[in-house]
A and B are shown apart, each in its own frame.
Chain A
Amino acid sequence: MNIDEIFDNTSFTVDREAHIVLNYEICTGCDNRGCVNSCPARCYTWSQEEQKMTFVHDGCLECGTCYVVCHKNAFTRWRYPRGGFGVAYRMT
């Protein structure tokens, strides 16, 4: 399972409008950033040099892990994608 190739294995209908929006300032001041390693889709990346969090919603599996592990409530928005958008499991 190569996480770089997530789009080859799992289907998505990506919404242009992100269903999760972060206040990155809170992430910069976070002492844990458990989202970075816990997210099963690697949507969160932390750059140590730039002291900057990057979040990409495209490959989000909508599992809710980040919603639960974030103890700083860094989300200005956390909701499921609009109907018909997001991950689409075929079999699983």
Chain B
Amino acid sequence: MSKTYQAIVIGAGPAGSSAALTMARAGLDVALVERGSFPGEKNMFGGLLHRMPSLEKIFPDFWERAPLERHIIKKGVTFMTGDSSFSTTIEAGSFDKPPYNGYTVFRPRFDRWLAEEAVAAGATLITRSTVDEIVLKNGKIAGVTILGRSGQISAPVLVAADGVLSFTAQKAGLRKPTFDPAQMAVGVKALIDMPREMIDERFGLVRDQGFANEFVGCTEGVRGGGCFYTNYDSLSLGLVFHLASLRTSGKTPYDLLNAFMEQPQVAKMISGGRLLEYSAHLIPEGGYDMIPELVGDGIIVAGDAAAFCNATGLNLEGINLASHSGVVAGEAVIAAHRAGDFSKQGLTAYKKLLEESFVIKDLKQARNAPHMLHNNRIYHEYPEMMCDFMENIYKIEGLPKQNVTSLFLKSAREKVGLGKLLADGFSAWRAL
């Protein structure tokens, strides 16, 4: 195996395929290298596909072309304890009109489709190939080798879209040799089979409507949260844990997932369903401060590899950031080819374009959020307080009633402590 391309993209996820697609459409001879037996085979997420500005530009009919599941019309947040839950949901008219705000998708189908679009545009997809080493020639990047095979694939420029651990970025010296567990989370997910009519009936949905819900307080005090999504005829139920918290908790992801599935209110949501698939994946949750060097001589880092993940608010975003960074990486490589300059300087347009886009701007704005979310009380005490307060508001026992303020103070004092509540309120206000 030995062939020369004008660029090599490592990883056929949303970032890599978007990069390869952009370059192939501009006529570049690009290789898209994927370690799975098909693109998407190794990928999972616990999120939604939101608006994809860069792909919508490439494909005006993006939303008709892409393999999607339901569009989300109803979004909820639930504060949960072992046996109670307090939820808020928003069902907005605009969520039910195109362009839809978010879709559920299956990654093995979506990622495969996007890579096929890159191939249709002229990219060469090389599957079953785990990139091993970066090949240097006269001190410059000249290609990569594939694990377990002889020979190399050559190109003057690489796009490292090889995911959250990006060994390519590490080998190029662009990311730190070790990760900080405080900046990483692991998500585990159960895919649950359920007939379409049952899902529609149970969650109040018609046509292709979908429901998505986030949970706090469902992780037995481990920092993290839960998520729930409706697909056409299956449900996705998952938990996310901050690794710095999980590793010292003594608790296991699967036991916590089982406890979550058995929590009385969650059990009703999934009852009658059958487990289809269990999956896990890391999430780069460190935000802006986790971003590695984005550009080096002959190399650009995109997607999860560049920690482009906005997982600190109620919207969990990643694929849209990845895809946009991939398109911009493609554009930067096209410009570098025109100028014949693959140096860090020659590829610097990538950084500049990203800094002007929502990718870096959003991450920068939420820069302090990851630190705020390291407050353990968010994951246990506050959900307890919310549920206790709401329960007391609705409780009618034939006794003289307390006013709402004193009910709130009672719950706050018992479940959190007033001093801590004030301190947390102050730091939340400062962070936001």
Contacts and interface: CB of A to CB of B under 8 A. Distances in A.
Interface of A: 1, 3, 6, 9-10, 13, 32, 34-35, 37-42, 61-65, 67-69, 71, 73, 79-84, 86-92
Contacts of A86: 42
A80 B130 contact: yes
Contact of A62 (B42, B128, B129, B253): B42
A67 B179 contact: yes
A14 to B, nearest CB: 14
A62 B35 CA distance: 12
Interface stretch (B206-214, B273-281, B365-373): B273-281
A14 B243 CA distance: 26
B274 to A, nearest CB: 10
A63 B280 contact: yes
Nearest to A59: B278
Nearest to B147: A82
A1 B108 contact: no
A13 B41 CA distance: 12
Interface string B143-169: 000111000000000000000110100
Contacts of B132: 79
Given A1-B190, A37-B247, A86-B42, A81 B130 contact: yes
Nearest to B162: A80
B112 to A, nearest CB: 11
Contacts of B34: 83
A34 B198 CA distance: 40
B181 A92 contact: no
A65 B280 CA distance: 9
Contacts of B109: 91
Interface stretch (B22-30, B72-80, B254-262, B380-388): B254-262
B108 A91 contact: yes
Interface in B386-423: none
Contact of A34 (B128, B248, B261, B278): B248
A37 to B, nearest CB: 5
5 contacts: A34-B181, A40-B252, A42-B252, A88-B42, A89-B40
Contacts of B278: 1, 6, 9-10
Contact of A69 (B147, B247, B281): B247
B130 A89 contact: no
Contacts of B19: none
Given A87-B41, A92-B106, 17 more contacts: A1-B258, A1-B275, A10-B279, A37-B249, A37-B250, A38-B247, A40-B186, A63-B186, A65-B282, A68-B282, A69-B247, A80-B167, A83-B128, A84-B37, A84-B128, A88-B41, A92-B191
